[in-house]
Amino acid sequence: MKSIRTRFAPSPSGFLHVGGARTALFNWLYARHTGGKFVLRIEDTDRVRSTKESINAIFEGLQWLGIDWDEGPFYQSQRFDIYKEYIEKLVQTGHAYYCTCSPEQIQQMREKAMAAGDKPRYDGTCRDKGLAPQPGAVVRFKAPFSGTTILKDIVKGNIVFQNSELDDFVIRRSDGTPTYNLAVVVDDITMGINTVIRGDDHVMNTPKQILLYQALEADLPVFAHVPMVLGNDRSRLSKRHGATSVTAYRDMGILADALINYLARLGWSHGDQEFFTRQELISKFDIKDVGKSAGIFDPVKLQALNADHIKACNPEQLAHLLVPFLAEAGIETRADQYLAKVISTLNTRSKTLVEMAAAARFYFIEKVNYEEKAARKFLKPAIAPALESLVSKLEKLSQFSEKALEEVFLQTMEETGLKLGKIAQPVRVALTGTSVSPGIFEIIDVLGKERVIARLKQALEFIKTRPQ
Ligand code: GLU
């Protein structure tokens, strides 16, 4: 079998949205799965809508997702000579012709066709005139009047189009630029693309593209048109449904691995498995397993899956990912051993990196800020003797082993006659400032002797000085 060659061909008129990212992902996964090649092509022939910012946003989104390309990026705007050559070839072989009908004439034809109850279409005025190239002329493809064009689609099955439904579509505009259908076909032929995976909004363009392949005597690629990504009300995903750009999810603290797992599962399945590592996706993804029904993008489900990926990711690796989120929260730190230990107490309790950064704050502050309610409830004079007892015993410990800590707490419980529950909450508030946190012994282990003793002393000071 020939080596698979896929491509992602975005039109750069905005950021990389989740629908586009899923198309890129399917192409990338299929190339990686089969040991083929994945090509990136920027479809920037629309000079007005294409922007440099958007191109950069697409690169940024793909790079963050870890979708790397083997060839490109190719820019359609730099390939006009190639399109010109192919357009001339189509004219020479009698498959296309120059047309000088004015926009007004085209409008009249349309109106006439509609008045007669037909589809608006070009009436073939210039089809057999054999016009020479001339300024202002467009080039039209000579579409067949009869017969059918069949799209054999991996996802959709066979779709039969009546050629009589097509008219002589424009392949070169009067300003010399190629139209989308022409450029895409020429690119896919010259780039050796043999598998076209894209959104099913392109199904209606495909018969025109198939006719172009045939006219150019090129092999057809395999087509796979994947259903659109929808919002939870089943309409096409848009801003109304919340964030749609890939980088917005990055900034919310979603892991790239979680987003690609989630996007892959929108339309593709492998039994009822939900959680996939990147490697598993590559080894299990097959375009044949993409279903016909549209995927519904649900940010709540994405967060739940993200929590699973956070759990599965090792703390050292997560540390690197968390550093920018900590910085955003005003905590400057490096991805060191301390941070990895901090993370190992939070990774089963955080749905996003933003949440995790907020929960990690107390590990990094010099002085604990107490939540008003927690301090009122737990930092009362009655608990001072227990905290004092803990301080004096902890000061004597040379190292904080689990066994030694247990012993200290047991002795304090005996001395004060308080149960562990009664001591643990005030200690938690003293160490973290809040009444919700990871397990008390975990926290003590991470903070270490000096910080723990300093924080217990701070709490004692607070109890002593606060107005009762
Ligand atoms: N540039 C087109 C788009 O962004 C995709 C073309 C294709 O995949 O054939 O929708």
Residue 1 binned pLDDT confidence (cut-offs 50, 70, 90): low
The Cα–Cα gap between 424 and 429 comes to 9
Domain 79-226: what homologous superfamily? HUPs (3.40.50.620)
How does pLDDT run across 218-272, given as a tens digit for each residue?
999 999 999 999 998 998 888 888 889 999 999 999 999 999 999 999 999 999 9
23 CA closest ligand 1 atom index:
8
CATH 3.40.50.620 spans which residues of the chain? 5-77+228-303, 79-226
For the Cβ of 193 lying below 6 angstroms from any atom of ligand 1, the answer is: no
Q: What is the tens place of the pLDDT at every residue in 141-187? A: 999 999 999 999 999 999 999 999 999 999 999 999 999 999 999 99
340, HSE (Cβ side, Cα atoms, 13 Å): 9
Write out the residue limits of the CATH 1.10.10.350 domain(s) in the chain: 366-468
Per-residue pLDDT at 468: 65
Q: Give the model confidence (pLDDT) of 174-200 as tens digits.
A: 999 999 999 999 999 999 999 999 999
Ramachandran class of 401: left when φ > 0, alpha when ψ lies in -120 to 50, beta otherwise:
beta
How many A from CA of 201 to the centre of ligand 1? Answer: 9
Instruction: Label residue 399 by pLDDT band (50, 70, 90).
Output: confident
Residues 305-323 pLDDT 10s: 999 999 999 999 999 999 9
225 lines ligand 1 (CB under 6 A): no
Range 286-309 average pLDDT: 96
What contacts 187, CB < 8 A, 6 or more positions away?
9, 41, 74, 76, 79, 193
205 lines ligand 1 (CB under 6 A): no
User: Hey, what CATH topology would domain 366-468 get?
Assistant: Arc Repressor Mutant, subunit A (1.10.10)
The pTM for the full model equals 0.94
- Does domain 5-77+228-303 match CATH 3.40.50.620? yes
Residue bearing the CA closest to ligand 1, atom 7: 9
pLDDT at 403 exceeding the cut of 90? no
CATH of domain 314-364: 1.10.8
* Percent of the chain topping pLDDT 70: 100
Q: Strands 195-199 and 222-226: what pairing? A: parallel
Q: Which strands make up the sheet holding 222-226, listed edge to edge?
A: 157-162, 148-153, 222-226, 195-199
Give the Cα separation of 161 and 64 in Å (integer): 40
Predicted confidence at residue 444, as pLDDT, reads 95
The per-residue pLDDT of the chain, averaged, comes to: 96
Is the distance from the beta carbon of residue 43 to the nearest atom of ligand 1 less than 6 Å? yes
State the pLDDT at residue 47.
82
Residue 16 near ligand 1, beta carbon < 6 Å? no
Residue 46 pLDDT level (bands cut at 50, 70, 90):
confident
Looking at residue 157, its pLDDT comes to 97
CA of residue 181 to ligand 1 center, whole Å: 10
C-alpha of residue 11 to centroid of ligand 1, in Å:
6
Examine the residue annotation and report whether 239 is marked as an active-site residue of this protein. Answer: yes
**Separation of CA 252 and ligand 1 centre (Å):** 28
Task: For ligand 1, say whether the CB of 10 is within 6 Å of any of its atoms.
Answer: yes
The catalytic residue among 112, 119, 152, 239 is 239
- pLDDT tens digit string along 431-456? 999 999 999 999 999 999 999 999 99
